[in-house]
Structure 1
């Protein structure tokens, strides 16, 4: 029997994607991939202020690991990808607060430890607290917890520690702590003549210096002196002493008992300053404190705003739960005390208090690029010696 081959039905050929469609798909894939990497693994940050000098300089670009402490899930999911608070170059918020999700932290390699350089969301951008700190941080605005401003400081005390600062030296649980290698302090440099700033200060990497045109009188010498107030490291302070026109270089510390304004906590029960501070116990998960007048001053904001409590109020210096006085309190999460390495030029926990664990973003790992915002010439714009420097 003869058979006839049946011709297959002619199939419509799929049209290839247009170049524009391929470009859109590529951009969309790149945005999604970048957003996932940025959320889950690491983020890139730039240092805008000198609060961490000389460990980190203005213009340093660094990678921050989210894996070390575990990344947190978004609280504010309605957000434009690859933005933080505002749409690039505008004052238009990049997020909507129509939906708020509970926050969870994924498992990490480690917990925050003393000495870690940490990026965190600034706690005092809470809607109920930001206005209290306008004298210290004048440009504060309220934001959701996961979209508060990113700050970078060094953890000097972890949950459960007792912190005290004596004459600029940090003590934890009564023991003096190691000083960060590149930590910067404030010094008075007494000189016999005016200094050539380029040859003395900038050549040694000192960018923060102020001529002291009036007379300077310290607590140990009745002779009037003039010179410069400089912020630098102990090693460079020793080097400055070797110049023949330098009479002496001495660290500057505020005297114990001299109360500094705008310090945390805002109470008349302490007479602390940036160089003589504490003792202060850092809140720890499941740790309990008795709420006397002093502890209420220390922990009232923590209990009211960062612990997820409702119906807790502060009246006449007393904490009330549903109108009844609280005599003690057990904390629900860990907290940390953060300080900048530029100890006399850092708005840190000494001025606004504790950092809750749910505000921790990640650990600063290394500097991948460093650009001098004020170079002596174009060829010195990139600080080559800082590239791929591990942050310690």
Structure 2
């Protein structure tokens, strides 16, 4: 059948169906203009697609040419797969232990929540934003730039889903100092510089915490940009080229989140905690030193081990904490709880009008697409980045009046849905308590499988966690 004249038409029909379904899926019908190229490839063959491989003497292409051809094809295939189907992601920190471990390599499904069309379509595959951690040479071109568009997916983000997303505060990055994020660094640095130099302290009291924060952030911004030897070049990144984070989605658009004494409540009801949920515990011994065998028994990574004298500060699950409590050389074990201190500098939104801490947080309503809220100077610290950074509006405050796009504003309607993400290792996680909401256009995908796991605390081959190979990623 392969030698019959009808076979090429059969191949064309199959390819045409796939091509048309793909165009309908991405809802960009301009691609239909490329259909003649598909037709030529199977039927007319007028375009010499392999012209660059042909030799004048008619001989077979050299091995170098064949290798280049194979590499180009592989890169194109990987690029397409990476956009529409899945990508690899490596767990870099302990924020999700014990649900996901440092050194886990994940297959992240982009089809689960619907793949995004890239904001930066011309980019080197398999490289997130720069070619290495030591250089800020971009792996993508800033132009052309496409607006946010998400294709139809299999499902929606649900409560307790583990989600990979682009870091919302990663739009601006000091290349040599990216933790904490740029905005927190501006605030912290501005406060420190003002405390060192009384001339920088304000002469008049602030009218609001929003005004206070912007005052100190402006000082911090000038300091960071004037000290590249310490902070590095300050660079900006589009949404799809911001660093990837992985956390657990705790609250969906429209939910009301609250954390009371380390327990999460959604819409007033306590949620079921993940099996691997951890909090930091203060442990005091009778003088016995905690050794590697102790930590390995409790599965505490080296990065999470802290102690001095007979006092130790380590993350544990409830079951592991009970195990420690029953050990004969333990004098006391107490769960850590950060109490709000009225300063407004502990957690998002960094305002004394919201006297919250990482362990006592909210209530906070999740913004929902199409919802309209009252906007005030008091709640502006909560919604400022939504209005400006995420939804692209111009915001200004003058004489106590809020202006959006140069118009006086007392209300605001959200253009996107927003989510709240937490790490399961609650006291070892930089998450939404630090930088706020995750916009829908930052959602990358859903981890579905651990395909490789390497323990960073051990050397090869002992570092291979064989029991985690091809482990399905569950909610709990």
Q: Could you say whether these structures have the same fold, taking a TM-score greater than 0.5 normalized by the shorter chain as the test?
A: yes
Alignment of 1:92-241 (within 5 A): 92-127=137-172, 131-134=182-185, 141-207=235-301, 208-213=304-309, 226-241=310-325
Q: 1:262 to 1:250 in 2, by over 3 A?
A: closer
Is 2:439 the partner of 1:356? yes
Is 2:366 the partner of 1:282? yes
Which one has a larger percent helix, Structure 1 or Structure 2? 2
Q: 1:355 to 1:320 in 2, by over 3 A?
A: same
Is 2:106 the partner of 1:22? no
In 1: Cα distance, 2:281 partner to 2:349 partner: 27
How many angstroms does 1:128 deviate by? 10
Q: 1:261 to 1:95 in 2, by over 3 A?
A: same
How many angstroms does 1:17 deviate by? 2.1
> Which whole-Å deviations, capped at 9, do the CAs of 1:190-245 have from their partners, x for residues lacking one?
321323412212222123232243xxxxxxxxxxxx53211111111111122111
In 2: Cα distance, 1:389 partner to 1:279 partner: 36
Superposition CA RMSD, Å: 2.4
Is 2:463 the partner of 1:381? yes
> Which whole-Å deviations, capped at 9, do the CAs of 1:323-375 have from their partners, x for residues lacking one?
33211111111000011111011111101010000010001112111111111
Moved more, 360-369 or 79-88: 79-88
> Which whole-Å deviations, capped at 9, do the CAs of 1:282-304 have from their partners, x for residues lacking one?
10001111113332221121011
Moved more, 108-117 or 285-294: 285-294
Residue equivalent to 2:124? 80
In 2: Cα distance, 1:54 partner to 1:317 partner: 47
**TM-score, normalised with respect to structure 1:** 0.87
Is this contact kept in 2: 1:296–1:317, CA < 8 A? no
Residue equivalent to 1:319? 402
User: SS state of the match for residue 118, structure 1?
Assistant: strand
In 1: Cα distance, 2:173 partner to 2:62 partner: 52
Q: Can you give the 5+ residue segments of structure 2 that lack an aligned partner in the other structure?
A: 1-55, 175-180, 190-230
Per chain length, whose mean CA-contact separation is higher, i.e. which structure has more relative contact order (CA < 8 Å, sep 6+)?
1
How many angstroms does 1:271 deviate by? 1.5
User: SS state of the match for residue 247, structure 1?
Assistant: strand
Q: 1:16 to 1:378 in 2, by over 3 A?
A: closer
Q: Can you give the 5+ residue segments of structure 1 that lack an aligned partner in the other structure?
A: 1-11, 214-225
In 2: Cα distance, 1:243 partner to 1:386 partner: 29
How many angstroms does 1:27 deviate by? 1.0
How many angstroms does 1:13 deviate by? 8.2
Residue equivalent to 2:449? 366
Residue equivalent to 2:102? 58
